[in-house]
Every structure is written in C-alpha cells, then in structure tokens.
Amino acid sequence: MRQGTKIILIGLLISLGLAGIISPFASSLPDGLEWVVGKLGFVVKEKEITKAPLPDYETPFVRNTRISTALAGIAGTLIVFCITVLCMFALKKIRKSN
C-alpha cells in the first residue's frame, strides 16, 4: 500500500471515530442559518423539495437518539469522503488528458 493511501485511510478512520463519538453531543439548537430563517419568517414559506435522507441528523430506523445521531455522523462522513474521492479521480483524469 502506498504511503499516501495509508495516510488517507488513517485520516478516514480518525474522522469516522470522531463523527461517531462527538456527534451525539452536538447541540440541538438551530444553527445560525436556521435561526435567521426563523427570525425572518421564511420557515412558513419553505417547501420541501425532496425528503431528507437523514432528517435532523438522525437515522429514522434507530430509536436510541445518541446512537442514531452517531450513525448519522458516520454516514455523513462517509458520504463526504466518497464525494471527495470521486472528485479527486475526476480531476486526476482531467489532468492526465491535458
């Protein structure tokens, strides 16, 4: 295994561990954007375009709130990692073709 791949996998494992451990302790209060939207009254006007896969950072099939939030954090981390890897491969392919 190449050194770069090893570092990426170690970083992924650390990120997954942190997401699983720290996510359950995140605040349930709205973030800045949600607060402003509520303050300006846009919440009433909002329309759901599509159903969120993990609404309110919880997995709908797990009843325990802490475990549900931890799984949502891990899933989010994996999704971001996969998108990043796909972009990396796309950019690498574009660079080789130029």
Query: Domain range for residue 81?
Result: 1-26+55-98
Residue bearing tokens 């303050």: 39
73 found inside a domain: yes
59 found inside a domain: yes
Check if the beta carbon of residue 72 is closer than 8 Å to that of residue 54.
yes
The pLDDT score that the predictor gives to residue 59 is 86
CA 6 to chain centre: 22
6 found inside a domain: yes
36 found inside a domain: no
17 found inside a domain: yes
Q: Give the list of residues 6+ apart from residue 65 with CB closer than 8 angstroms, or none.
A: 24, 58
Number of domains comprising the chain: 1
pLDDT per residue, tens digit, the chain (98 aa), is 788 889 999 999 999 999 999 988 887 777 788 888 888 877 666 677 788 788 778 888 899 989 999 999 999 999 999 999 999 999 988 988 87
Check if the beta carbon of residue 73 is closer than 8 Å to that of residue 23.
yes
The pLDDT score that the predictor gives to residue 16 is 96
61 found inside a domain: yes
